[in-house]
Structure 1
Amino acid sequence: MNSLEWRVTASLAAIYAVRMLGLFMILPVFALYAETLPDSTPALAGLAIGIYGLSQAVFQIPLGILSDKIGRKPVIIGGLLVFAFGSIIAALASSMWLIVLGRMIQGMGAVAAPTMALAADLIREEHRIRTMGVIGLTIGVSFMLGMILGPIVSQVGGVPSIFWLTMLLAFLGIALVVFVIPNPARTLQHRDAGIIKGYLSTALSNAALLRMNVGVFILHLVMTANFLVLPTLFTHELGLPTAEHWKVYLPVFIGSFVLSVPLIIMAEKQRKIRPLLLGCTVLLIVAELLMAAGHTHIVWLLVAFWLFFIGFNFLEAVQPSLVAKYSDVNTKGTAMGIFSSSQFLGIFAGGALGGMVNHEWGATGVFLFSAVVVGIWLLVALQLPQPTFYASKILKLDPLLFSDPQRLHTELLAVAGVKEVALAAEECIAYLKIDKTALDQAGLDAFSPASA
C-alpha cells in the first residue's frame, strides 16, 4: 500500500470508530447515570441504550444503497451531521425520553456501509482486503477504548460530556472526509465491500448465513443486556466508583484477549472454527449461569465476567470470517451488510428486552435470560455446515479479456486452486475464492494486464 492508501485507510477507520464509540462509551456508565434521572426506570434505561442499535440497523442498508446513487461523501457527511445532532440532544437532555430521542437520532447516522464502499473506491484491488481488515479491527479497538474511557470521561464531566465528545468526534470525521480523503475517480458497486440491492434476496435465502445473522444478533443482545446490570454490580459489590471501573475492564479485556487469540488462530490454521464456535457458545452459557448464581460474590462475578469475554472475543472475531466462508463471491458484501444490521438489532433487543427483564427480576433475571437466549443460539449453531476454508482474492484483469466473458470465466475456473469466479466488467476485475494450498499462482498471473 502506498502512503495515500494508508492515509485513506486510517481516516476511514477513524470515521468508522466514531459511531462505535458513540455506543461503547456509554455502555459502562449509563445504568448508574440513569438512576439519577427522575423519570428513569430499568426498562427505559435499556431502551435508551438499545435504540441506537435499532436506528443503525434500519438505516444502514438504505444509506449504503443511497451512496451508490449520489456518492459516498455526501452520505457520510450527512450521516455524521445527524450523529452529531443526536449527540447534542442527548447531551442537553434532562429526561430519559429526550436521551432516548438523542440516541435514536445518533443511530440514524449509519455510515458504515458508505464508508466501506468509499474504501473500495479508493484502494487498489490487491490491497482492498487489507484495508477492510484494518477498518474491521477498529470495532474491537473502539470497544476496548470505549469501555475504559467512558467511566473516566464521565467522572470528569458527567455522562453528558460523553455525548459532547462524540459530537466533536463526528465533526472531526467530517473534517477528514472533506480535507484528507480524496474524491474517488468513480463510484462503483463493489460486491466484496458494498450492499447490492439485487443480491439481498440471495443472501437472505442462504440458510447458513441466516444462522450467522441469528448468532451475531444473540451475541450482542446478551452483551448489551449484561451491561444494563454489570456497572451497578461493580459499584455495589466491589465498591468501585464509576471512574475506577476501568480497573475491572482493563485486566479482564487483556486477560480474555490473551486467551482468545490462540483460539482464533487455531480456528483458522487448524480448521477447527466450527467446534471452537460451539465450545465458546457453551462457555458463554456457563459464564451467564455463574453470574446469575454468584454475582453477589466478588470472585465469582469477576471470573464469570472474564469467561464471558473469552467467548465473546472469539465469537466476535470468527463470525465475520464464517460469513465470508458461507457467502459466494457475488454476495459477500451484501451478506456482511445484513450481518452488521443483525448485530445492531441485537443491541436494540438486548437493551429493550434486558431492560424489561431487569425491571421485573433484577440482575439474576438478566443473566438467566441471557443464558437461555445463548442456549437457543447453540441449538441453531449445531446445524451450521462445515465451512470451506477458501480465501477471497480480487484479480485485476486485462480489459481485452472481457470481450468473451463466458470463456474468461471458464478459463479462470480451470486454474488449479480457483474454486469460485465472479466477473465485474465495469471494474475489470474478477472476484475469486481460492484454495491457497493448491493455487497455481503463475497460471492466475497470466490473466493480469502486466502479463498480457
Structure 2
Amino acid sequence: MKPALEIDTPMTRAELRASLSLAGIYMLRMLGLFMILPVFSLYARDLAGSTPLLIGLAISAYGLTQAIFGIPFGMWSDRVGRKPVIAFGLLMFAGGSVVAALADSIYGVIAGRSIQGAGAVAAVVMALAADLTREEHRVKAMALIGVSIGISFAVSMVAGPIITGWIGVQGLFWLIGALALSGLAVLYWVVPNPAESVFHRDTQALPAQFLTVLREPELLRLDFGIFSLHLILTATFVVLPLVLRDFVHLETPQHGYLYLPVFVLSLLAMVPFVVMAEKKRKMKAVFLSFIGLIAVAEAGLVVLDDSLFGIGFLLFVFFTGFNLLEATLPSMISKVAPADLKGTAMGVYSTAQFLGAFVGGTSGGWIYGHYGLNAVFILGAAVAGLWLVLASGMRAPRHVSTLLVRVGAMAEDQARLLSEQLLGVAGVAEAVVVAEDGVAYIKADKQLLDRSALELLLAPAEAA
C-alpha cells in the first residue's frame, strides 16, 4: 500500500520547475513595484504639478489598484485559465511602466503606477502553483515563492538607486516594463501547463467565507499588522531618500551602497530570532519585540536625521524588524486561520497589505507637505506603537504546521467521519475533510504528531 503522507519526499522535477519559474515571475513583477521606492521622491520634484501629497500618491497608487483587483483576478482565472490572466496582468504592468516612463507630469506617473497595480496577478500565480503541485508539497511551493518576494525587495532597494544613477528614473521605468515582458517569456516557455485548473482552498479566496475570517479577532490583528508594516515602510520612503540627499549629502547611486550592508546584516541578524520563535516556541515574545524595534527605529530617525552612521544603524534596526515581521506574519495567518480557509484569510491579508502601502504613501506625502520630514517618522513610530498595543492582546500562536492530503472523492458523511477520526490522532489540532475537494486540511504539531497513526488512517482512503 502506498503511504498517504508524502510530505517528507522531495518534489518532482516538474513540481520544482513550476515552483521556481513561478517564483521568478513573481520576483520580476515585485522588482518592478519596489525598485522605484528608494528613488522616486528625488526624481519627482522636477515633474510638472508635483506636490508632496502627489509624490506620495505616485509612489503608492499601485497599492490601491492591487487591493481592488487582486481577488477578482484570481476568480477570473478560475473561468478563463491561469496563464491568459497572468499574461494579461503582465501586459498591463508593462503598459503602466511605459505610461510612467513617458510621463512629463506627476499625474502621468500616478496613472502609470495605478495601471501597474491593476495587473494584479499575485493570487493567480499562487493558484497556478497549486494547480502544478500535489497537495503534500503545496507548502514548499508557496515557501519558494515567498523567498522570491524577500529577495526581490532586497535587490530592489539596493539596485534601484544604482541603476537610476546610470539610466535615470525614466530609464528605470523602461527597464521595469522590460522585466514584465520577460515574465511573459518565462510563463510560456518555462512554466508547465496544468492538466486542469480547479479551486484551491489553501491558496484562493472563497468570497462566501469573507465574513467568517473578518469576524476572527486574531486574524484581524494580523491583518492590521501587515497594513501597519507596509504603511510605515511606504511613508518612510516618501521622505528618507530626501533625508539622505539633503541632510547627509549622499548622491542617489550612493543610497544603494548604504542599503546593501544594511540588508545583508539585517537578514543575518534576524535568523537567530526566527529560530527562537519557531524552535523555542517564543513566537509572541519575538513578534512583539520586533514591532517595538520598528517603533524605536522610526523615533530614532527623528533625532539622527543628519548622521550617516546613525541613519545606517537605524535602518539596520528597522529592516531587521521589517524582514522578520514580513516573514512571520504569513506563517501566523496559516496557524490562526481555519484549516480549510487559509486561502480566504490570505486574500484578506494581501488586500490589507496593499491598502497599507497606499495609505502610507498618501498620508506620508500629505504629512510631509504640511508638517515636514520628521513628522513622517513620528507617524511611523505612532503607528508601530498602536500596532504593539493591539498585538499585545493576541493569543500566543499555536505551533502547528499545515498538512494537505488528497483523500479522494467521498460522501459528506464519510468526510465528517474522517474529520472526527483525524482529530483523534495525537498531535492533530484541527482537521477538516472537504468532500467536494477530496482533500483533508490538517493542522498538526509536528513534534507531537503520531505519523504512523495518521498514515494508517489516511492510507485506505488513498488506496481506494
TM > 0.5 between the two?
yes
Aligned pairs for 1:29-48 (under 5 A) are 29-48=39-58
Match of 1:285 in 2: 295
The answer to whether residue 310 in structure 2 is matched with residue 310 in structure 1 is no
The alpha-carbon deviation at position 147 of structure 1 amounts to 0.8
Query: What is the distance in 1 between the residues matched to 2:410 and 2:112?
Result: 53
Query: What is the distance in 1 between the residues matched to 2:340 and 2:208?
Result: 10
Q: Any idea what the Cα deviations from partners look like across 1:46-90, whole Å, max 9, x if unmatched? A: 000011111111111111122122221221111111111111100
Counterpart contact for 1:221–1:347, Cα < 8 Å: yes
Query: What is the distance in 1 between the residues matched to 2:380 and 2:426?
Result: 47
The answer to whether residue 221 in structure 2 is matched with residue 211 in structure 1 is yes
Q: Any idea what the Cα deviations from partners look like across 1:162-216, whole Å, max 9, x if unmatched? A: 2111211211212222232222222211111111122211111111111111111
The alpha-carbon deviation at position 238 of structure 1 amounts to 3.0
Query: What is the distance in 1 between the residues matched to 2:269 and 2:193?
Result: 42
Match of 2:333 in 1: 323
Query: What is the distance in 2 between the residues matched to 1:166 and 1:297?
Result: 32
1:21 counterpart (11, 18, 31): 31
Query: What is the distance in 2 between the residues matched to 1:398 and 1:40?
Result: 59
1:67 counterpart (69, 77, 92): 77
2:421 counterpart (411, 418, 422): 411
Secondary structure, aligned partner of 1:383: coil
Q: Any idea what the Cα deviations from partners look like across 1:296-350, whole Å, max 9, x if unmatched? A: 2223222222211111111111111111111011111111111111111111011
Secondary structure, aligned partner of 2:425: coil
Residue range with higher mean Cα deviation, 5-14 or 178-187: 178-187
Aligned pairs for 1:20-169 (under 5 A) are 20-169=30-179
Secondary structure, aligned partner of 2:250: coil
The alpha-carbon deviation at position 38 of structure 1 amounts to 3.1
Match of 2:271 in 1: 261
Match of 1:11 in 2: 21
The alpha-carbon deviation at position 353 of structure 1 amounts to 0.2
Counterpart contact for 2:416–2:433, Cα < 8 Å: no
1:378 counterpart (372, 376, 388): 388
Residue range with higher mean Cα deviation, 243-252 or 11-20: 11-20
Query: What is the distance in 2 between the residues matched to 1:199 and 1:402?
Result: 19
Match of 2:12 in 1: 2
Counterpart contact for 1:61–1:337, Cα < 8 Å: yes
Query: What is the distance in 2 between the residues matched to 1:181 and 1:302?
Result: 40
Query: What is the distance in 2 between the residues matched to 1:282 and 1:35?
Result: 33
Q: Any idea what the Cα deviations from partners look like across 1:112-169, whole Å, max 9, x if unmatched? A: 1011011001111221110000001111101011111111221221111221112112
The answer to whether residue 309 in structure 2 is matched with residue 299 in structure 1 is yes
Counterpart contact for 1:47–1:351, Cα < 8 Å: yes
Secondary structure, aligned partner of 2:46: coil
Counterpart contact for 1:271–1:389, Cα < 8 Å: yes
Task: Give the letter for the 2:113 counterpart.
Answer: R
Query: What is the distance in 2 between the residues matched to 1:33 and 1:332?
Result: 41
Query: What is the distance in 2 between the residues matched to 1:256 and 1:212?
Result: 23
Counterpart contact for 2:202–2:340, Cα < 8 Å: yes
Task: Give the letter for the 1:234 counterpart.
Answer: L
Q: Any idea what the Cα deviations from partners look like across 1:358-414, whole Å, max 9, x if unmatched? A: 111222111111111111111111121121111100112254687722222222222
TM-score (norm 1): 0.96
The alpha-carbon deviation at position 290 of structure 1 amounts to 0.8
Q: Any idea what the Cα deviations from partners look like across 1:414-446, whole Å, max 9, x if unmatched? A: 222222112233443211011212212112212
Residue range with higher mean Cα deviation, 96-105 or 240-249: 240-249
Q: Any idea what the Cα deviations from partners look like across 1:205-238, whole Å, max 9, x if unmatched? A: 1111111111111111111111111112222233
Secondary structure, aligned partner of 2:372: helix
The answer to whether residue 395 in structure 2 is matched with residue 393 in structure 1 is no
The number of residue pairs the alignment matches comes to 452
Counterpart contact for 2:406–2:462, Cα < 8 Å: no
Query: What is the distance in 2 between the residues matched to 1:412 and 1:137?
Result: 32
Secondary structure, aligned partner of 1:392: strand
Query: What is the distance in 2 between the residues matched to 1:280 and 1:406?
Result: 41
Counterpart contact for 1:202–1:331, Cα < 8 Å: no
Counterpart contact for 1:213–1:342, Cα < 8 Å: yes
Query: What is the distance in 1 between the residues matched to 2:155 and 2:309?
Result: 25
Q: Kindly, what percent of the aligned residue pairs are identical?
A: 45
Query: Which runs of no fewer than 5 residues in structure 1 stay unpaired?
Result: none
Match of 1:421 in 2: 431
Counterpart contact for 1:65–1:197, Cα < 8 Å: no
Residue range with higher mean Cα deviation, 209-218 or 30-39: 30-39
Structure-2 change in CA distance of 1:388 and 1:352 (3 Å): same
Match of 2:254 in 1: 244
The answer to whether residue 210 in structure 2 is matched with residue 200 in structure 1 is yes
Counterpart contact for 2:93–2:180, Cα < 8 Å: yes
Counterpart contact for 1:191–1:329, Cα < 8 Å: no
Aligned pairs for 1:332-347 (under 5 A) are 332-347=342-357
Query: What is the distance in 2 between the residues matched to 1:63 and 1:56?
Result: 10
Counterpart contact for 2:32–2:179, Cα < 8 Å: no
Structure 1 vs Structure 2 CA RMSD? 1.6
Secondary structure, aligned partner of 1:230: helix
Counterpart contact for 1:402–1:408, Cα < 8 Å: no
Secondary structure, aligned partner of 2:403: strand
Query: What is the distance in 2 between the residues matched to 1:402 and 1:101?
Result: 50
The alpha-carbon deviation at position 292 of structure 1 amounts to 0.6
The answer to whether residue 182 in structure 2 is matched with residue 172 in structure 1 is yes
Residue range with higher mean Cα deviation, 245-254 or 37-46: 37-46
The alpha-carbon deviation at position 18 of structure 1 amounts to 2.6
1:223 counterpart (224, 233, 241): 233
Task: Give the letter for the 2:311 counterpart.
Answer: L
